[in-house]
Amino acid sequence: METFTIRAQARASLPGTGRQAIVGVVASGNLEVLLERSETGDAVVVDVTTSARGFRAVWEAVVADFIARSSPGGVRFSIHDNGARPDTVTLRLLQGVKLLETQP
Amino acid sequence: MIPEEIVRSPSWYESSARNRIAGVLDADTFHEILGPAERVMSPHLELFDLPPAFDDGVIVGRGQLDGKPVAIIAQEGQFMGGTFAEVSGAKIVGLLRAVTAAAGTPDGVSAVLLLLDTGGVRLQEANAGELAVSETVRALLGVRAAGIPVVALVGGRAGAFGGGGIVTACCSHVVISEQGRISVTGPEVIETNKGAEEFDSRDRALVWRVTGGRSRVLLGGADSYVKGDVASFRAAAARSRNAAPPFTLETMAAEQERLEKRLSSYGDCRDTPEIWARAGLADPASVPDIDDDAFLALLSEREIKHDAR
Amino acid sequence: MTPVELLTRLFPSGHEVVAGPFNTLAGRAILTDGAAVEVVGVTDGAPLSPEIATELAGRIIRIVQDGKKTPIVLLIDTASQRMTRRDEMLGLNEYLAHLAKVVTLAGLSGHRTVAVLYGAAAAGAFIATALAAQTLITIDGAHPSVMDLPSIARVTKLPLQLLEKKAETTPIFAPGVTPLAATGAVLENWSEADNFSNRLETALTLEASSDTRDTLGEERGGRKVAYSVALRVAAEFEKAAR
């Protein structure tokens, strides 16, 4: 396993008022993402725990691309990954922010 | 295009544990206890270099079903096979004990819904998992002894195997779909220990005939058979809440009789069609092949009912 | 230890325990103070079958029906549950659950239940017999397990040597009395030199109305979080009701 944290700044904070959300399951080739609106301003924190070692650069690229697309400022993403492919990671991140945005 | 009926009522088998809870309870009534943000996770998986889950694969809480309060427990079969382990088990046990403590008070619930989806004990935490099953059995029977029914809903990917099969049969009422499977030793383990002659785990039709939902409900291992959609499970949970046998000496004596009778009637059968033929089913070989409506019609003709669990 | 030796050492004042069908035993025994206990058991490491489960459960139901609240001592030397297609087809899960339910019902009905594991018990058979009693005692040489390490290695796809090494640092998965006692499953282990009848009579006087195996596991350090997690869930349940 490998654990690391990616920090970034988004263009804007995530709309909506939902405090937390969870999407996905830690199944083979899948991941869970816990989203918490806990960061100040437009900061974004992504904590990754993954079963696959040596892919930090890929994770950084996926996260950078995701932040550029959806601008989830103020959110901490905590991830447990069991070998998901990059497109699955992007899908879960997008599902997560959509859920957090639309939650009451 | 996704078919309309799937949009309206998703498949239980395909749904996650969280989505099953959302579909079973009244809308927006679920209150999760020790949810993912609390990060109550397995302390043991790291030793095996395995990623944890924020909820350790079990979701517990309170909610309402048709306006009445219920406690609910759901195992996530996709994470570590929905297994009983130190944390996942303690969440189940803690909830069941709390339900018993609250029985008869304003905080009491009308039922416990147990959404099983489990391969049994998590072998990486084998001792903690085994004890968790035993503690679950005792706590669950405490709930029943306090007069509160525990309804098992079985239809997930992992089935209800190992200790999960035992826990299922301790519940007041068991609801199952065609895809639901209940067993103790899984076919693969029997094959590994006793050879393919004893149980060929690759013969999927045979596995389903032995462990599957239709066989279980025909033989008495389950009480209600439902189509495999979430709405059907919800409706069956609401119905069966009122029809559950109490946990008493009389019920156990009746179960003793029921199980002895099954042994003497079918103990020498080799396969389930043999049992159905002896039980007087008109076309025993067709049981796995007919559709759910035809199977439900067959069940209602036979009125398989007992009050002994 | 043979069942005959065990019975002699547990009940020096006498017993009428006899062998029953399917490697079971049953009968009354007398404690040194003259009080009666009921004994039921499995012998010879017999895998737990539907036949054994109904035999034992039937006995216990009749004991509870008697209404005398006589203590029940379960003497256990089984194996795993029997692994056959036939037993699974007949609903072995119901038979094992029925036995666990009946033992638990006896406890709830005022019978003190104590299991003495003098041989093996594994997996579902362990849950349905020894672990279903209010108190579990092991005797030197007993071998409780969930699954043996070679099978765990096969299922988890981990090398056996690695598992053996990990088992030295944690009691969480390894078979045997010591790790299971650390997690709270076993109240006490008796060694060959102990006075079994004294120890049994002491065990029978212990209060056992609630399940305290998780507190025991916490005290002994073998299950550090189970009890606190269960307590937290219960506290939150009360809050969630408001």
User: For residue B65, what is the domain's CATH number?
Assistant: 3.90.226.10
Count of domains forming chain B: 1
Mean pLDDT score, B198-223: 95
Distance CA(C211)–CA(B135), nearest Å, equals 7
Interchain CB distance below 8 Å, B184 and C241: no
- Selecting from A80, A81, A82 the residue whose C-beta is nearest the C-beta of B54 gives A80
Residue of C190, C51, C204, C26 lying closest to C114 (CA atoms): C204
The average confidence (pLDDT) of chain B is: 95
Nearest to B125 by CA among C222, C229, C2: C222
Q: Which of C124, C224, C231 sits opposite B184 (nearest CB)?
A: C124
**Residue-number span of the structural domain to which B203 is assigned:** 4-246+290-300
Would you call B50 and A51 a contact, using CB atoms and an 8 Å cutoff?
A: yes
State whether residue B176 is helix, strand or coil: strand
Query: Looking at the complex, does the CB of residue B30 fall below 8 Å from at least one CB of chain A?
Result: no
Per the structure block, which two tokens stand in for B24?
Answer: 């079973």
Angle at CA of residue A36, ends A31 and A40, nearest 5°? 130
Give yes or no for residue B1 having a pLDDT over 60.
no
pLDDT digits (tens, 9 = 90+) for A29-81: 999 999 999 999 999 999 999 999 999 999 999 999 999 999 899 999 999 99
All chains having 3 or more CB pairs closer than 8 angstroms to chain A: B
* B176 domain-assigned: yes
Number of B–C residue contacts, CB under 8 Å = 283
Query: Long-range contacts: C176-182, Cβ < 8 Å, 24+?
Result: C176/C143, C176/C144, C176/C145, C177/C138, C177/C142, C177/C143, C177/C144, C179/B127, C179/C222, C180/B127, C180/C144, C180/C145, C181/C138, C181/C220, C181/C222, C182/C217, C182/C220, C182/C221, C182/C222, C182/C223
Buried (b) or exposed (e) across C206-221, using 16+ Cβ within 10 A?
eebeebbbbbbbbeee
- Chain C residues within an 8 Å CB radius of B69: 241
Which residues, numbered 70 to 129 in chain B, qualify as contacts with chain A under a Cβ-Cβ cut-off of 8 Å?
76, 78-80
Write the DSSP string, B203-257. -HHHHHHHHBHHHHHHHTS-SEEE-SBHHHHHHHHHHHTTSPPP-SHHHHHHHHH
| Domain, as residue range, for A42 | 1-14+26-82
- Flag whether A97 is in a domain: no
pLDDT, tens only, B119-131: 999 999 999 999 9
Domain assignment present for residue B152? The answer is yes
Chains adjacent to C (≥3 CB pairs closer than 8 angstroms): B
Identify whether A67 is part of a domain: yes
pLDDT (tens digit per residue) in C131-189: 999 999 999 999 999 998 988 898 888 999 999 999 999 999 999 999 999 999 999 99
For C17-39, what is the mean pLDDT? 98
Whether B193 has a pLDDT exceeding 70, the answer reads: yes
Q: Is B80 on the interface with C (CB under 8 A)?
A: no
Banded model confidence at residue B195, pLDDT cuts 50, 70, 90: very high
**Residue B49 within any structural domain of the chain:** yes
Query: Which band of pLDDT confidence, cut at 50, 70 and 90, is reported for residue B178?
Result: very high
Predicted local distance difference test score (pLDDT) of residue B304: 66
Number of domains forming the structure of chain A = 1
* B25 falls within a domain: yes
Average pLDDT over residues C32-60: 98
* Interchain CB distance below 8 Å, B37 and A50: no
Q: According to CATH, what is the number of the domain C3-209?
A: 3.90.226.10
User: How close B80 comes to chain A (CA, Å)?
Assistant: 7
In a domain, A60, yes or no: yes
Domain spans of chain C? 3-209, 210-242
CB contact under 8 A, B51 and A51: yes
Nearest CA to CA, how far is B101 from chain C (Å)? 9
B166–C100 C-beta distance less than 8 A: yes
| Cβ–Cβ gap A22/B78 under 8 Å | no
Tell me whether 0.95 is exceeded by the ipTM: yes
Tell me the pLDDT band of B36, cut-offs 50, 70 and 90. very high
Q: How confident is the model at residue B307 (pLDDT cuts 50, 70, 90)?
A: confident
How far apart are the C-alpha atoms of B32 and C107, rounded to whole Å?
Answer: 32
